[in-house]
Structures are given as structure tokens and as C-alpha cells.
Amino acid sequence: MKLGVINVSDRASAGFYEDLPGKAAVALLEEWVTTPFETAYAVIPDEQSQIEAQLRQFADVENCALILTTGGTGPAVRDVTPEATETVCQKMLPGFGELMRATSLKYVPTAILSRQTAGIRRNALIVNLPGKPKAIRECLEAVFPAIPYCIDLIEGPFIEVDSSKIKIFRPSSP
């Protein structure tokens, strides 16, 4: 099984910032997921065509079951991660963005500025996360309980977790 993490950031990809958001996302997967997995990892600038190419590469060539992006979801002109995600996905899952924004709203009123979303490309689930490690954890904790079952439904690998760290949910009858 392969899981992908793409840190989308002009400044991190140019080496001005350390790649903390991407590392935070990988650390959460390593903390929670007990099924053995490899990580596909990239740090790229906020260029829509480059984000799309990286998502296609991780979904179609690397066969990642799950691809997490960090950053690039705000209203600024360089924030284009949701547009790239929507372009490469066959199906969008609006409930992810709704729940992540509702969760972040408990902490900051500016949560409504996030355009983060999720969608399906072939057998990969793509989920946009924010750019700050604290918000990455808050958002991924909120939606992760539904992720393994989502990946079952799109015929990806069966993902198991350490239930002392995070609870996931699979309906008993399909």
C-alpha cells in the first residue's frame, strides 16, 4: 500500500521554509495507520498544472490509495489546490470540506476562507488539508474516521488503524 502526501507551497518548494506541513501529515499517517505502507512524497509550488500533474502521478503511476495535500486552499490568487483537485477528480465529496471547515470554525472564524475539498480519482481518495500543522491535525482527525471505508468503496486496499490513537468506522452491512 502506498499513501501520498503533497505539500503545496511556493516558499517551501523554493527552500525558504522548512516543509513542516507535509511532515505533519506524514507523521499523522504513521501514528494512526497500522497496515504497512510506503509514502510517496512531494513538495511543489502553487502552480495549478504542477499540482494536477503530481496528483495524477501519485494516483495513476504510484497507485496511492490516499493522497493528502497541504496548503493552497485560501482565497489568495496563488491558492489553487482545490482547483487542481477538482480538475483531476472524477467525483467530488463535498462533505469533507464541510466537516473540515465546521471543525476549524471551533478554533478560528477565518475557517470559512478555506476552500479545501476532497474527491476521487480512479482508486485514489484525494483530500485537501490546510497549511498549518495544528490545523492539519484538527482537520484530518475530523475526516479520517470515514477514510478507510471510503477507500474500501473505491476498491483500494483495506486500511487498519491503531484504535487507541484514532477511531475509524465501517458500516456493518454494505
Q: What gap in Å lies between CA 52 and CA 133, rounded to an integer?
A: 23
CA–centroid distance for 35 within its chain: 18
Query: Quick check: 36 binds a copy of itself (CB under 8 A)?
Result: no
Q: Is 14 in the site for a copy of itself (CB under 8 A)?
A: no
When binding is defined by CB under 8 A, the residue of 36, 77, 106, 164 that contacts a copy of itself is 77
Q: From start to end of 15-142, where are the E strands?
A: 38-44, 66-70, 91-92, 118-121, 124-129
Q: Which is nearer to a copy of itself, 41 or 168 (CB)?
A: 168
Site for a copy of itself in 129-168 (CB under 8 A): 143, 145-146, 149-150, 153-154, 167-168
Query: Any idea what the Cα angle at residue 126 is, between residues 123 and 129, rounded to 5°?
Result: 160
Q: Which stretch binds a copy of itself (CB under 8 A): 13-21, 49-57, 62-70, 105-113?
A: 105-113
Sign of the dihedral defined by the CA atoms of residues 46, 102, 142, 118, in that order: negative
* Interface contacts to a copy of itself, rule CB under 8 A: 74-77, 79, 91-99, 101-102, 105, 108-115, 120, 125, 143, 145-146, 149-150, 153-154, 167-171
